[in-house]
Amino acid sequence: MHYRKRPVTIKAVQFFDAPETLVELSKLGLDPVNVDYSVQHKPILKIQTLEGVMTANVGDYIIKGVKGEFYPCKPDIFEDTYEEVKYLNVLDSI
């Protein structure tokens, strides 16, 4: 059997260690926004996912899934999988 992934629209924020990014993650609904600075010059974002705590490095995307769950995604996978939707204002309520 063959399967195709259903088209869905998600929200995502690319993680950078900057106040603006942390605010955007909070607006996305990630709570808490937990950045770990235990390794100097290498902040990581710790995310509670359905599978447990996962980490995101600077540049990774944080995706809010269709059921409100969060998970990290590497930039190359994100760019191969998703494209920006610019024309749907109705999605702002998701």
Q: Residue 54's beta-bridge partner residues?
A: 47
- Chain segment 41-92, per-residue pLDDT in tens: 999 999 998 899 999 999 999 999 988 999 999 999 999 999 988 765 555 5
How far, in Å, CA of 37 to CA of 93, rounded? 33
Give the confidence band of 5 by pLDDT, cuts at 50, 70, 90: confident
Give kind and range of the element (H or E) at residue 80. helix 75-81
CA distance readout (Å), 24 to 9, 47, 77, 87, 88: 18, 15, 21, 20, 19
- Chain segment 11-44, per-residue pLDDT in tens: 999 999 999 999 999 999 999 999 999 998 999 9
pTM for this one?
A: 0.85
Contact 68, 74 (CB under 8 A): no
